[in-house]
Amino acid sequence: MKARILSLFLLLLLSISATAQLTDSFTDGDFTQNPAWSGDATSFQINPQQQLQSNGPAITGTTLQLATPSTAANGVTWEFYANLRLATSGGNLADIWLMADQSSLKTSGTKGYFVRLGGTLDEISLFRQDATGSPVYVINGQDGSLKSTTNNVVRVRVTRSPGNVWVLEHDLTGGQNFTSGGTATDATHQRSAYFGVRLTYSSANSRNFYFDDFRITDTVPPALLSATPTGPRQLDALFSEALDAAPSAASYRLVAGPAVLTAQLDAANPALVHLTLGENLPLGNNTLEARNVTDANGIVAAGPLTAVFVNQGFAVAPAFNQVLITEIMADETPVVGLPASEYVEIHNPTAGTVLDLAGMRLLKPGSTTVAVFPAGAALLPGEYAVVCGSTRASQFAAFGKVFGLTNFPSLSNAGDQLVLRARNGQTLFEITYSDTWYKDLRKKEGGWALEMVDPANPCAGSSNWTASTDDSGGTPARANAVRATNPDHAAPALLRAVALTPTIVRLFFGEKLDSLASTNVGLYALTPAVPVTRAAPQGPDFRTVDLQLTTNLPPNQPLIVAVQRATDCAGNGAGPITAAPFALPVAAQSGDVVINEILFNPRTGGVDFVELLNRSDNYLDVQGWQLGTEQPAGVSASPISAGPYGLAPGQLLVLTTRPDVVQTEYPTHDPAAFLAMASFPSLPDDAATVVVLDAKGQAIDRFHYDEKQHLPLLSDRNGVSLERIRAAEASVGGNFHSAASAVGYATPGRPNSQYQADPTGAKLFQIEPEIFTPDEDGQQDFTTLTYRFDYPGYAASITVYDAQGRLTRRLMRNETFPMSGFLQWDGLTDQGRKAAIGPYVLLIELYRVAGGETHVYKRNVVLGGRL
């Protein structure tokens, strides 16, 4: 009988071996391997008929068990042969566990399904065992099915469909002619770890349980039951049965959405696969496709298997530029139409990301307090919200979403720096605004908000902000009234460089950089060559990058730093190589830097400025320097630069509180020559002495200006600067002249219109130019008499006469001369009127007291003009 059944079984096995998860007919005479059964192994044996037979202690109430690993749970057929050579009862029965979550079938809490043979009702039934409580029927078989007292032969087959429909069948002859024992639907337990048998018997029946032909067959490929988003970049795929232990990410694809990067089987549920995506899931409906998915038994579902799901969004911590400040109300009075309260507006520009703002901080750099967003604060895709002080939130409730924060920063009307930082301290957004961004003098006075023009260009400053055009003065919690396309296509420019230490060089750029791209040391090169080991962009605005060098720089040695493909935070990086000279600065000496131009009487709406010139051959750093005016009680000064600021030989530096205003009135091609000061010394319109102090408080230069130094012919001196004539000469009134009308009456950041190079030659006195035209066109507006002596101690009188010998102007009377210098004649008479066109003679009466020498010289000059 065993041989005939075995041959039939082997024939069937050959046809389905690829789908069988477990097969054991005990023909090898061993149940401890292929497969390995464990438990009460000493209480079982393989008998001569090659069947598994109980052989336990002859003690009433004994319970034995054997179990073998099996993960089969769905779309599976279980089959086995049994012979209970005893009268079944409540104390004599066999439970064959089709699914068990642990190997100990006798332990309370084991979950799964089993077929009971015997029991009080002498039945063949399917039970479910939960973690607690008694077993419950899934299929209640016919009572009295096993009624023999000595020979209860049965072959049982149980099938569970992918839809969790259970079918119980049996053949009481032990053959293959199965009779239905019932059907039922139950989906309670979806996982299995073991298959096994558990026996309970009285003392006389310890050797009366026989089993054979265990077979677990998986004939159904896995089905994709569902796809569930569990995070912004996480998606769970649930299958109908346990899968292969190493799922492939290549088997999964979203119909609309990011790529699947990884696929990981759940540690507790092998039918569950955790998918990690390359980007955030888009909101709305989507479909997951699965192809070539293999279950734990090797059955492949070619697919595509599909599961439709809906992503309603997950709040995630914002990344850089994912939460923006798009509106600022710094000056709330006089009221135009909005509440009389300062506020800023924040915006989520993403199309499908819900932002978790909990713990995000709004602050002003340097402040000791920060405003922190509370737990649960979120911003939906495309949403705007008002951020204000906690006591002002109710004023904005009607406008939309409002976050009222404790320690909301006070917003300066003239300008401020605001930063949004993530919980981990990462800079999310930075803005340094100014009231010049209004571009409207009326709205600048209060009641109007500043609005960002293009949220897609968040890195831009003034060019992407302007005053609101909404009638109420602003658009809190909604799209800005000025919203328009305003892209940034310009690559960032390197403005300047300065060596902070012998091994650290700081680069200054004209706009915010991509903080990640700018860390690439390969973008930077120094000439002469010095290797760069590290590039560190400096927050919160990322307009500067510190380069760490391998070797110390020698002081005052000129170098050039070049930057390739500098990328701004808008992604613009295609541009020519940009470069800047620098050197390790040395200490400045008195006279190294001089006042080169000064505007002390600006036009209405204008501002004062002072232009400095580094006339030395040294590289200097003006950090800690001050600009001030001498007062009876001492010098009243303002800091020039709190941070490092390099000044190269020949470099101009324009100091003012409002570079934008100065550049508007006096256009320049070099905005980098301007340095904005937080405050500026008061420059009276009539006269004052301006002084430049170094970081130690020592005077580097001083100049006493006087409105009388202006050309007397000027009808209006407002907005006209005094320009230095010669760089190398002293900072005295005679070395300054009114800027020419042809250049707009001032040249901040540009060469002076009245600049003269020092004349060369061996003559004692030299006239330059010999023909001049004092018409304020910037071309030969005055003439200069340059002198150079071999010995000190000379004095002179210099007088101008016309062609008829009449006195026109006394330039100097009995005054002592230094060994070299110059004086100017602007073409005016002693009465302050313009002299007539024609030739003139400068009579020079020179005498030297020490030697008693007296000399008389004449120099001819022509005063020209338009006829």
Res. 216: pLDDT tops 90: yes
Cα–Cα distance, 325 to 337 (Å, whole number): 21
Cα–Cα distance, 432 to 447 (Å, whole number): 20
Instruction: Write the CA distances from 44 to 49, 194, 461, integer angstroms.
Output: 14, 18, 84
Cα–Cα distance, 421 to 424 (Å, whole number): 8
For residues 215-231, one letter each, b for 16 or more C-beta atoms within 10 angstroms of the residue's C-beta and e for the rest, the string is bbbbebbbbbbebebee
- The pTM for the full model equals 0.57
Q: How confident is the model at residue 849 (pLDDT cuts 50, 70, 90)?
A: low
Q: Angle CA(796)–CA(801)–CA(805) in degrees, nearest 5?
A: 125
Q: Which of 204-213, 407-416, 486-495, 638-647 has the lowest mean pLDDT?
A: 486-495
Q: Dump pLDDT digits (tens) for 130-150.
A: 999 999 999 999 999 999 999
Q: What is the pLDDT of residue 405?
A: 97
Q: How confident is the model at residue 758 (pLDDT cuts 50, 70, 90)?
A: low
pLDDT above 90: percentage of residues in the chain: 67
Q: Angle CA(170)–CA(172)–CA(174) in degrees, nearest 5?
A: 90
Q: What are phi and psi of 795, to 5 degrees?
A: -130, 160
Cα–Cα distance, 816 to 663 (Å, whole number): 42
Q: How confident is the model at residue 17 (pLDDT cuts 50, 70, 90)?
A: very low
Which one is predicted more confidently, 765 or 595? 595
Q: Residues 508-519: what's their mean pLDDT?
A: 90
Q: Dump pLDDT digits (tens) for 722-757.
A: 999 889 889 998 889 888 887 889 999 999 887 877
> What tokens does 526 get?
């120094």
Cα–Cα distance, 808 to 802 (Å, whole number): 6
H-helix or E-strand spanning residue 7: helix 2-16
Q: What is the pLDDT of residue 240?
A: 84
In Å, how far from its chain's centre is CA 554? 36
Q: Supply the mean pLDDT for the chain.
A: 90
Cα–Cα distance, 141 to 120 (Å, whole number): 13
Q: Which domains does the chain have, with CATH numbers?
A: 2-218 (2.60.120.200), 224-313 (2.60.40.1220), 324-467 (2.60.40.1260), 494-582 (2.60.40.1220), 585-755 (2.60.40.1260), 756-867 (2.60.40.1930)
Res. 13: pLDDT tops 60: no
CB atoms within 10 A of CB 236: 18
Instruction: Write the CA distances from 350 to 260, 382, 489, 703, integer angstroms.
Output: 21, 6, 21, 56
DSSP assignment of 297-352: TS-EE-S-EEEEEEE---EE---TTSSEEEEEE----S-SSS-SS-EEEEE---SS
Nearest to 699 by CA among 733, 731, 659, 656: 731
Encoded amino acid at 56, one letter: G
Q: What are phi and psi of 687, to 5 degrees?
A: -165, 150
Res. 702: pLDDT tops 80: yes
Res. 564: pLDDT tops 80: yes
Q: What are phi and psi of 213, to 5 degrees?
A: 55, 50
Q: Which residues sit opposite 844 in a β-bridge?
A: 798, 857
Q: What is the pLDDT of residue 818?
A: 80
Instruction: Write the CA distances from 691 to 289, 471, 637, 647, integer angstroms.
Output: 76, 48, 8, 18
Cα–Cα distance, 217 to 18 (Å, whole number): 9
Report yes or no: 346 and 458 within 8 Å, Cβ to Cβ: no
Name 219's Cβ contacts closer than 8 Å, sequence gap at least 6.
16, 19, 75, 77, 299
Report yes or no: 236 and 274 within 8 Å, Cβ to Cβ: yes
pLDDT above 70: percentage of residues in the chain: 96
Report yes or no: 690 and 683 within 8 Å, Cβ to Cβ: yes
Res. 852: pLDDT tops 80: no
Res. 232: pLDDT tops 90: no
Q: Dump pLDDT digits (tens) for 780-796.
A: 888 998 888 766 667 88
Res. 170: pLDDT tops 50: yes
Q: What are phi and psi of 228, to 5 degrees?
A: -135, 120
Cα–Cα distance, 300 to 244 (Å, whole number): 10
Instruction: Write the CA distances from 698 to 533, 592, 644, 692, integer angstroms.
Output: 37, 12, 18, 8
> What tokens does 18 get?
């690829």
DSSP assignment of 670-734: -GGGEEE-SS-----SSEEEEEEE-TTS-EEEEEEEEGGGS-TT-S--TT--EEES-TTS-SSGG
Report yes or no: 379 and 357 within 8 Å, Cβ to Cβ: yes
Q: Dump pLDDT digits (tens) for 531-549.
A: 999 999 998 889 999 999 9
Q: Which of 64-68, 266-270, 500-504 has the lowest mean pLDDT?
A: 266-270
